[in-house]
Structure 1
């Protein structure tokens, strides 16, 4: 079998966001795969824009990346007790693409946040937002990196052994979900 295609989606646009670091650590622990990080810097969803111009090229590219991926990992910070607007906007745009690329896709969600809950509420809202798309969500162990700015070294490597052990388990489950 060829290498798996693994797509990472960060709910933060920041270049050095801890959620990007978490995705890269997840990809490393996933094992032998071609890893791509999606660009979620998309125009705001606007039905009038869609009617006038159709699906933007950047959204079509994201939908293609999702469709071609064997599995997807999504990591989001928590903004005001929810997933980020960046991530919700991407989900809203991709929901307009036919055929729907999420259906049956193995997906693992995780979060990294500055607070002590590590983004647990953001994950809950992300799962709720994903439900209509009918992906195959790979659940547990939950990865919610609290105080995330202190959990990665200067190179973005996760330094907490417990988080790494649970992330290893989650990535093994995600790999096993690929058929």
Structure 2
């Protein structure tokens, strides 16, 4: 099984990319590919820009990289209760090429933040709209107080309850 994972964040030290990577690696026997949304250069979306350039190459590359997956693990960063602008922009371009961006592939949606909210607002938005964009969400998990439960140096979860929850979510990708 090929699992594609990414954090919907442009941070070089993204906690959401770390969380997505960790969770994807819990899928037994999976070949995991981790994407970095910084690798998909797209201009700011507008209908005028779309008329000018057509499809953005970065968005097509993003869709191609997702298309090769059997399953997805996506962890959403939250900026002021919403998607980060860079991810939303890439996503908007991608939906203009293929509205079913996620291709009905089984997916685990995650979110995390350093604080107690766990980016639950963006996770709710992502899971609530998933069906409109080919999202087939098998499980969703919000991880609050990220640095208290995750060791960035080792890439491992330190909290047994969170580790169990993430393992159960990952197992749903093969069920």
* TM-score, normalising length: structure 1: 0.86
Structure 2 unaligned residues grouped into runs of 5+: none
Per the TM alignment, residue 63 of structure 1 is displaced from its structure 2 partner at its CA by: 0.4
Per the TM alignment, residue 172 of structure 1 is displaced from its structure 2 partner at its CA by: 0.5
Per the TM alignment, residue 146 of structure 1 is displaced from its structure 2 partner at its CA by: 0.9
| Equivalent in 1, 5, 13 of residue 10 of structure 2 | 13
Which consecutive aligned stretches of 4+ in structure 1 deviate over 3 angstroms post-superposition?
98-101
Q: Matches of 2:155 and 2:12 in 1, distance apart?
A: 11
Evaluate the alpha carbon distance shift between residue 88 and residue 29 of structure 1 in structure 2; reply closer, same or farther with a 3 A threshold: same
Q: Matches of 1:145 and 1:93 in 2, distance apart?
A: 28
Aligned counterpart, 1:67? 67
| Matched residues, number | 171
| 1:1-179 map, 5 Å | 4-41=1-38, 42-43=41-42, 44-98=44-98, 100-139=100-139, 142-153=140-151, 154-176=153-175
Q: Which moved more, 1:58-67 or 1:81-90?
A: 81-90
Structure 1 unaligned residues grouped into runs of 5+: none
Contact 2:101-2:134 at 8 Å conserved across structures: no
Alignment partner of 1:109: what SS? strand
Q: Matches of 2:136 and 2:154 in 1, distance apart?
A: 32
Q: Matches of 2:102 and 2:45 in 1, distance apart?
A: 18
Per the TM alignment, residue 83 of structure 1 is displaced from its structure 2 partner at its CA by: 2.6
Q: Matches of 2:90 and 2:33 in 1, distance apart?
A: 16
Q: Deviations over 1:54-102 (max 9, x none)?
A: 2222211110112121111110122112232232222211111148442
Q: Matches of 1:127 and 1:11 in 2, distance apart?
A: 14
* TM-score, normalising length: structure 2: 0.87
CA RMSD of aligned residues (A): 1.8
Per the TM alignment, residue 39 of structure 1 is displaced from its structure 2 partner at its CA by: 2.9
Alignment partner of 2:174: what SS? helix
Alignment partner of 2:97: what SS? coil
Q: Which moved more, 1:63-72 or 1:145-154?
A: 145-154
